[in-house]
Chain A
């Protein structure tokens, strides 16, 4: 079974600071993709960043970057220069085939 674990139910960061959200996953596949989704209070699921497992280079999207450690099956999300609008639930997800497998999420609070 494929599982995704987010060990931090809640995190807090001050505006303009940097925060890292952790994610580990378990798979026997060699070809897969990893994602971070953001879910604000509106409930809308928004793709933040995507990482291809065969690429060693860590993905970056503006203030969002990942630290992908394939051997350790670790996929953390770093948010730099945090903004109030970053406050949301963040879900790590893994896909092999059709189904996205999600972790339980980390609730990020951003304080002024």
Chain B
């Protein structure tokens, strides 16, 4: 099992460009998440999907959209990238949402917006 995979691993964008970060999990998990990690900070939740067909905003949703394509895949889209979105992006999944369920993380995507 690959666990949680993310593509691409690195990306450089110019201000105003758009892109989609892809995430897939092969653990048959119901819940999926997108976090961002800025220098000197812990991870902050952007959006999450409690189950297939649902999405909800997290702490820092502005400038992003998400799509839960199916149970396996959860994508994050930047419609018009800004330098403030330079960050490392992590996708995660858990069997169910909620307190007990361990979230498994992908390897991250380092995004630079010039």
User: A97 in the interface, Cβ–Cβ < 8 Å?
Assistant: yes
| CB atoms of A104 and B97 under 8 A apart | no
Name the B residues within 8 Å of A69 (CB-CB).
Answer: none
| CB atoms of B33 and A102 under 8 A apart | no
User: A93 in the interface, Cβ–Cβ < 8 Å?
Assistant: yes
| CB atoms of B43 and A102 under 8 A apart | yes
Q: In the assembly, what is the distance between CA of A33 and CA of B94, in Å?
A: 15
User: A68 in the interface, Cβ–Cβ < 8 Å?
Assistant: no
| CB atoms of B42 and A93 under 8 A apart | yes
Instruction: Using C-beta atoms within 8 Å of the partner chain, give the interface range for chain A.
Output: 20 to 34
Closest A residue, CB atoms, query B49: A98
| CB atoms of B43 and A96 under 8 A apart | no
Q: In terms of DSSP, what is the predominant structure of the interface of chain A?
A: loop
Name the B residues within 8 Å of A99 (CB-CB).
Answer: 33, 45, 48, 58-59
Q: Which of A40-48, A58-66, A74-82 contacts B (4 or more CB under 8 A)?
A: A40-48
Contact with A along B77-114 (1 / 0, CB 8 A): 00000000000101010000111101101011000000
| CB atoms of A97 and B97 under 8 A apart | yes
User: B21 in the interface, Cβ–Cβ < 8 Å?
Assistant: no
For chain B, residues 49 to 68, give those with C-beta under 8 angstroms from any C-beta of chain A.
50, 56, 58-59
| CB atoms of B42 and A32 under 8 A apart | no
Q: Which of B50, B99, B103, B107 contacts A43 (CB 8 A)?
A: B107
Q: Take A96-B99, A97-B98 as given contacts and tell me if A44 and B107 are in contact as well, using a CB distance cutoff of 8 Å.
A: yes
Q: CB within 8 Å of B: which residues of A?
A: 4, 31-33, 42-45, 47, 50, 52, 91, 93, 95-105
